[in-house]
Amino acid sequence: MTVEAQVARESRSRELLLCAGAGLLSGLLLFNSDYPINLWPMMALAFMPLLAVLARRRSRVATAALAGVGLSLGYLIPLVVILRFPISMSLFFIAYYGLFWVLFALLGHALWRRPGVMAALATGALAGLVDYATYSVVPIWGTAQSLGKTWIDWPWGVGFVAFTGLAGVVAVLVALQSLAMLAIRRPEAKAGAGIAALSLMGVVAAANFWVSPGEPEGSVRVAALTILEPRTDDDRPMPALANIESHIRPMVAEAVEGGAEIVATPEYSLRVEAEDRDATLEALTSLAREHKIWLFAGLFDNVDEKNRLLFIDPEGRTVASYEKVHLIYQLESYNPGDGTLALVTAAGGLWGGMICQDDNFPEPAASYAAAGVQAMVVPTFDWREVKDFHFESSRFRSVEYRYAILRSAMNGISAIVAPGGRVVAMRDAYTDGEGVLVGDLPLPAADEVRARIRAWFLVACGLLVVGATHPGNFLKTWRARRQGGRRSAPVANGVRRDC
């Protein structure tokens, strides 16, 4: 091998390593923007290293793909480590999720071959589509898989998701970063990029203002029980009747002392067997009747293998029930519900209910919003490693659909959430311990709760990406390169720069 060839090979290796490192840095920034570190504003810069690779004048498909792999590994490997998934689930998650972001890097490379404001905006649109695909193609954990969920800590700044869905957060953030990269890499486009960025932020601000919560129609005193899973001495779930006496009954009494009109218990708070089924249901109805409260009780019925939420009125009547639809991949195996909504008018408001994983999916929430619910009760069973991620996703339903949320959790975070995503009160079973969360839940005006059609946003994103990557654009770029690209190619030590 000649000296020149050796130098060329070493230079190419350094370039590829630099591109992979840029993608890895983007991935690590994305990881740090979420839990457990939760530096959520960091996502506003996280894509910049990857975009720097895509925006290079002589970036190649190989370098773009390598940067996409780096982003995927930088984000996903530490994530699956802290979540403590089984090996098989971890490998599937890395392969599945990583595939989409490598695809993003490859299509982003194509968009940046003709850099400009349209390409930058299309890169944001592409990111939104990819984020949507990650939680829709194989919807394992729904929107808990979305990168955009971290911005729930700024609920008044992301109200526009009422029009776009959660993918809109990713699309806007990546579009703004792409416009910033355009201004850096192409100084002649700085003015156009600045105008586009200001226009985009103006549209977002206007949408946020349009959907900002109005004055509540009223409020209701509610309580959510927060429980660490009761176990017997031989480490089995505590029988239902024993659990009612040791946990549910004293906690309900405490909630009533705090003035609660509605009390919610967590998912799996009771595990009902055939021999104690009637006695358990009678104990729950008598508890509601005794205290003259609405009792929203989560239980698992082993008789027909259904995960249920019961709505029991102050007279002790079970007036509605809901069955969990979305089971957790590899962790739950029983009969799912058919999606029938449970609607109850309680304490002056129209209520609906979902169970745990169901609130990771926009479809049930949209159906309830279309029915005009003002508040949702969401009994939940989590565990230490996932509780914060799930709570982010759960709160976003309130931002999207403008209803209030009463969340009662076992091994997780109970919360009272106002319309628009503001947390009124919360209790973490691990950091705060078991207890009763009591507070006033604001109820929105009925006409504020709306199920808006968001398919338009995905269609608009797709059209923007297609428009920016129109075959005619590629043909013009190819001809320009044939005519003058080779003469103006930057060269260092006889080697063309690759990224």
The residue-averaged pLDDT of 25-42 equals 94
Locate 313 and state its tokens: 């009125």
Among 133-142, 259-268, 283-292, the minimum mean pLDDT is found in 133-142
pLDDT in tens, 55-73: 987 778 999 999 999 999 9
The rounded distance, in Å, linking the Cα atoms of 1 and 288 is: 85
Q: Report the pLDDT value the prediction gives residue 114, as an integer from 0 to 100.
A: 87
The residue-averaged pLDDT of 185-205 equals 96
Q: Report the pLDDT value the prediction gives residue 488, as an integer from 0 to 100.
A: 44
The residues near 30 (Cβ < 8 Å, ≥ 6 apart) are 42, 43, 46, 71, 74, 75, 147
CA dist list (Å): 452 to 74, 80, 341, 448: 35, 34, 18, 11
Residue 465 pLDDT > 90: yes
Locate 477 and state its tokens: 């770029």
Q: Report the pLDDT value the prediction gives residue 196, as an integer from 0 to 100.
A: 97
493 or 281, which is more confident: 281
The rounded distance, in Å, linking the Cα atoms of 356 and 169 is: 23
Q: Report the pLDDT value the prediction gives residue 1, as an integer from 0 to 100.
A: 61
The residue-averaged pLDDT of 166-194 equals 96
Q: Report the pLDDT value the prediction gives residue 493, as an integer from 0 to 100.
A: 45
The rounded distance, in Å, linking the Cα atoms of 449 and 371 is: 9
Neighbours of 32 (CB within 10 A): 19
- Degrees to nearest 5, angle at CA 181 with 36 and 48: 20
CATH architecture, domain defined by 218-444: 4-Layer Sandwich (3.60)
Q: Report the pLDDT value the prediction gives residue 495, as an integer from 0 to 100.
A: 44
pLDDT in tens, 79-102: 999 998 888 889 998 999 999 999
> Please, which pLDDT band fits residue 491 given cuts at 50, 70 and 90?
very low
The rounded distance, in Å, linking the Cα atoms of 16 and 497 is: 10
Which one-letter amino acid corresponds to residue 84? R
The residue-averaged pLDDT of 37-43 equals 94
The rounded distance, in Å, linking the Cα atoms of 123 and 104 is: 9
pTM of the model: 0.89
Locate 390 and state its tokens: 């799930």
* Mean pLDDT, rounded, of the chain: 90
Which parts of 89-194 are beta strand (E)? none
Domain-wise residue ranges, the chain = 3-212+453-496, 218-444
Residue 273 pLDDT > 60: yes
pLDDT in tens, 333-347: 899 999 999 999 999
The rounded distance, in Å, linking the Cα atoms of 100 and 138 is: 12
The residue-averaged pLDDT of 196-223 equals 93
Neighbours of 190 (CB within 10 A): 13
For residues 367-376, one letter each, b for 16 or more C-beta atoms within 10 angstroms of the residue's C-beta and e for the rest, the string is: bbbeebbbbb
> Please, which pLDDT band fits residue 411 given cuts at 50, 70 and 90?
very high
pLDDT in tens, 433-445: 999 999 999 999 8
Q: In which residue are the tokens 């009678």 written?
A: 282
Residue 471 pLDDT > 80: no
Q: Report the pLDDT value the prediction gives residue 330, as an integer from 0 to 100.
A: 77
Residue 481 pLDDT > 60: no
Q: Report the pLDDT value the prediction gives residue 7, as an integer from 0 to 100.
A: 61
> Please, which pLDDT band fits residue 235 given cuts at 50, 70 and 90?
confident
pLDDT in tens, 102-140: 999 999 999 998 899 999 999 999 999 999 999 999 888
Nearest to 261 by CA among 385, 170, 346, 382: 346
